[in-house]
Amino acid sequence: MKKLSYKVLHLPTTVGGNPQGISRHLVELGVVSESFSVYQNYFGYPADKIIANKFDNPLWIELKKLWLLNYVFQYDVIFFNFGRTLFYPLIISNNGKRKYLKLIFGSIYSLYNILMQKVEVFLLKLFKRKLFVQFQGDDARQGDYCSANFPISIANQVGKDYYNHFSDSLKRNQIKLFEKNCIKIYALNPDLLHVLPINSEFLPYSHISLREWSPSYTQLDERPLRIGHAPTHRGAKGTDLIIKAVENLIEKGFNFEFVLVEGLSNVAAKEKYKTIDVLVDQLFAGWYGGLALEVMALGKPVIVYIREEDLKFIPEGMKADLPFFKTTPDNIELTIKYVLELPRQNLLEIAKKSRDFVERWHDPLKIAERIKNDIENALKK
């Protein structure tokens, strides 16, 4: 396929693998696209360039970021991810020992990042780069809004170090920054559209290749049913409630296996996901995560809490097709019990509907084509 004349850069994280998935599929459509990340996380989603590693000292990392700032001169389109630019004013925790020293240096570092972000954005606008951004979850989700508006939310399950006044304020300021400077703002979770600008758009997850994540239907295997759960943050995902529900059901005589997947790379976790029959995803976010997409692609039904008032932000057809076992934190035990008592053939049918759902609504090439069209329309202006 002929390469197009413009160049796209995805920056600055590998969160959820979504930036890398979009970039990879843009390349399949002939776009010159690369993804850079300042850090790599333990999931190990492959990026074209990782800037820093865990052995680098902080000063060396900042020098690397300063050098990377020359991306402004090399790419026509910048697709920011996780609601961040290269320089981002982080909140530094000042808990524990040397509290006041941490506060002083944390404040200086935050001011430095605020200044550098202004320089970064100024250069991008000076050279008329077209800017896009995807918000992916807690980069936009605000504790005060969630607590005030959602009876069931992550904000009611986590400590003050997760959401607080300072982090909420920082997120609102960053949203305003992107609203002022970006052509398009996308949200991977519909609840984020409550707090993002009115013209923001829902964008389904598209981080996996459907060719590489082919279905592995195990629901008819002659063994006890295997129910999996893979939390990245136990409090946010409702893991304790899920484990309690599982223990109660085992005490009541239900025969099944519970598979807890934690701390593995995406490649290693995939092998675990292939062996389960059903996944319990998350109980408080109100939507399914990228993990759920992966296991549905493998042909596994998903138990998850879906917040009905958020569904106004997604296409009507997608809403009608949702294949999940819907649950709430209060009835997770009853939902798992229902799944355990469901005939295996019925479970297999839902597994196939789950794969069909992914093919229809999370086809990465279709989503990349949409983004490509948005980019090319922006370049015409």
Question: What does the buried/exposed string (b/e) look like for 71-99 if buried means 16 or more CB atoms within 10 Å of the residue's CB?
Answer: bbeebbbbbbbbbbbbbbbeeeeeeeeee
What is the structure's pLDDT at 266?
Answer: 87
What is the structure's pLDDT at 92?
Answer: 59
> Rounded to 5, what percent of the chain is helix, strand, coil?
50, 15, 40
What is the DSSP secondary-structure string of 313-356? Answer: GS-HHHHHH---EE--GGGHHHHHHHHHHS-HHHHHHHHHHHHH
For 113-143, write each residue's pLDDT tens digit.
999 999 999 999 999 999 999 999 999 999 9
Fold of 7-208+364-379: Rossmann fold (3.40.50)
Q: Tokens for 195?
A: 């707090």
User: In the chain, where are the structural domains located?
Assistant: 7-208+364-379, 225-361
Weakest mean pLDDT among 152-166, 249-263, 274-288, 324-338? 152-166
Give which of 55, 58, 120, 136 is closest to 92, Cα–Cα. Answer: 58
pTM, 2 dp: 0.93
For 364-380, write each residue's pLDDT tens digit.
999 999 999 999 999 99
Calpha distance 72→176 (Å, rounded): 21
Q: Is the pLDDT of residue 104 over 60?
A: yes
Judged by DSSP in three states, 256 sits in strand
Do 7-208+364-379 and 225-361 share a fold? yes
Q: Is the pLDDT of residue 100 over 70?
A: no
Q: Is the pLDDT of residue 96 over 70?
A: no
Within 37-129, residue ranges assigned H as helices are 58-68, 99-126
For 296-316, write each residue's pLDDT tens digit.
999 999 999 999 999 999 999
What is the structure's pLDDT at 11?
Answer: 98
Which CATH architecture group holds 225-361? 3-Layer(aba) Sandwich (3.40)
